[in-house]
Chains A and B, each alone.
Chain A
Amino acid sequence: MLPLGSVCPLGVRLLGVCSRVPVVTCVRGITYGENDAVNPNFVNRNPRNMEMLRLARKPEGWNLEASSRTYWYKLVLEKSNRHSTGWVEHHTGTPVVSASTREWAIKQHLYSTTDTNAVYNIGCILARRCLESGISEVYTELDQYAESSGKIQKFLSAMKEGGVELKEPRFIHELSVGMFSRRRPALPWQVQEEGVSSPPSPIS
């Protein structure tokens, strides 16, 4: 059954909405079967659901820190003396997707693990792994170094060509979707995707 305060189909009497046990009834010729029973306290347990819907809060309040923490996923590039590693980390710290010249799968084909070409290839591979893992937009602090560093420029262009956007969408605040708010952003679940092109995905 539908939760309180929601729009109900015509002619439905809500019974037992406050209890955890769903109750069905036959009203005005509409026969409700067993498949209509829905838990009024249904919860989508997917931990990535809120981020996908842009409703999850980004960690705010660290504005006096040098590096921002207001992101869901951050793109990082590490260039050590012997290897180059690129990874995308969640704001909780987990490196969710990564590509490194330490991996034999990549190292066996490269001439050097630290030159610009290696970083470019790391970018291509990381972009593909990101899209396969359901990450298509990331936050990055590497933009500021792109002008001065050729390697970082190549890395970012490889990520863009691979289909990963280097700008995360803004978080949708509850107050901005009210009826009288000035700028009402299009909510992701209201957009009919018939006419919208899906994000590029590697198709075999």
Chain B
Amino acid sequence: MWAAKHSFSLLGGTKPVSLQVTRSKWWKKIIHNVYPTLQERFEELDHKQKDPELYAPVNIGLPKRRPPRRELLESRLQHLKELRKNKTLEKEAWKGNLKLDLDQVQADWETGTGPHQLRVLAQHYGIFDHLFGNAYFVPRIFLNISYDYDEDTVSPVYRGNTIKPKEAASTPDIQFHSDPDSLWTLILTNPDGNLLDNDHECLHWFVGNIVGGDTSSGEVVCDYLQPFPPRGTGYHRMVFVLYKQHQRIDFSKYRREQPCLSLKDRSFSTLDMYQEQQDFMTPAGIAWYQADWDPSLTDFFHNTLSTWICTEIQSKLIKRFYWSV
């Protein structure tokens, strides 16, 4: 017996296939046993491989807005030459005292490689898959979102940090760079929080036609509801998506009664919404955090949502998660 890799189209493609050739006296013929690797078996199950053109990733974001590299290069090289001549800087670096201002680095990173690294991270968290399907976007606008926890502390929202539901009980403070006349839409969804339908999300906040950078100027299509990950379900992603509008949009189709405490009404699909509005808005920014259960949610479930869901989902659910990995 020997293992052979031939480019037969046994599995329906022209990729090399792991074969094992056996020869037996009893059968008097050579039998090719197909032993596909784990990778090959996953590819067989993945329906997207069968039609790569249909499932090709699409960039739906804003275009690049940086000047061409040639313009930047000269000034940057000049700057680096001056750095090299700087004796005090050299001394500080040699002694180990030169510590960069992290806020300044963050601000410059947001205009440089930041959006691309953010896109990779969002892909890693499965946000584009579950919100947009095959589409993705490079988030050019950075969102500064923070929940005012108490007088001294603030819970900022970055890209996947953990925030407890009691910290996120009220609407966050949102800031982003924008022209004073431009229109924006902000949507807060939870792709893991729809307790009825696994393929839909739970809408927590929808504000449309925001003028400039001021969230209070926008029309509230769906009022804010704090995250409510039930005990035993683990960490839910709460995703803020900022869309840049090309014109004023009528959101009456998505309007929910205020306050909306019915989880069925809050069932939402970003993909469906974007397919309808794609000619009028473009996704520009993204931020997300992760929330898990908190003892304060017991009161929230009993009183605000009028439901008994808060009881602990026992080991059966955890086992199902365990074996699905």
Which residues from chain A sit less than 8 Å from chain B, CB to CB?
2-9, 22, 30, 32-39, 41-50, 52-53, 55-57, 90, 94-98, 103-112, 115-118, 120-121, 124-125, 128, 131-135, 154, 174, 177, 189, 192-194, 198-199, 201-204
Chain A binding surface, main DSSP class: loop
Are the CB atoms of B311 and A132 closer together than 8 Å? no
Bound-state CA distance A118–B105 (Å) is 13
| Chain B residues whose C-beta falls within 8 Å of the C-beta of A203 in the assembled complex | 153-156
Are the CB atoms of B313 and A33 closer together than 8 Å? no
The answer to whether A115 and B79 touch (CB under 8 A), given A6-B314, A38-B196, A48-B235, is: no
Q: How far is the CB of B119 from chain A (nearest CB, A)?
A: 12
Bound-state CA distance A32–B144 (Å) is 40
Q: Quick check: is B30 within 8 A (CB to CB) of the other chain?
A: no
For the complex of A and B, 7 pairs with smallest distance between CB atoms: A134-B160, A105-B108, A132-B158, A35-B307, A111-B93, A6-B314, A49-B234
Are the CB atoms of A49 and B235 closer together than 8 Å? yes
Q: How far is the CB of A36 from chain B (nearest CB, A)?
A: 5
Q: How far is the CB of B182 from chain A (nearest CB, A)?
A: 25
Q: How far is the CB of A138 from chain B (nearest CB, A)?
A: 14
**From A42, A57, A194, A202, contact of B325 by CB (8 A):** A57
Kindly count the residue-residue contacts between A and B in the assembled complex, taking CB atoms under 8 Å apart: 218
Are the CB atoms of B100 and A9 closer together than 8 Å? no
Are the CB atoms of A7 and B262 closer together than 8 Å? no
Bound-state CA distance A194–B192 (Å) is 25
Are the CB atoms of A55 and B93 closer together than 8 Å? no
**Nearest B-chain residue to A187, judged by Cβ:** B318
- As a 0/1 sequence over residues 228 to 259 of chain B, the CB contacts with chain A under 8 angstroms (1 = contact) are 00011111110000000000000000000000
Q: Quick check: is B1 within 8 A (CB to CB) of the other chain?
A: no
Are the CB atoms of A94 and B313 closer together than 8 Å? no
Q: Quick check: is B31 within 8 A (CB to CB) of the other chain?
A: no
The answer to whether A189 and B93 touch (CB under 8 A), given A45-B130, A45-B198, A128-B102, is: no
A-B contact pairs, 28 of them (CB 8 A): A3-B317, A35-B264, A35-B305, A36-B307, A41-B198, A42-B195, A44-B233, A44-B234, A44-B321, A46-B236, A48-B124, A48-B235, A52-B162, A52-B290, A55-B322, A104-B108, A105-B109, A107-B80, A111-B92, A125-B105, A132-B160, A133-B159, A133-B161, A135-B160, A189-B232, A199-B162, A203-B154, A204-B156
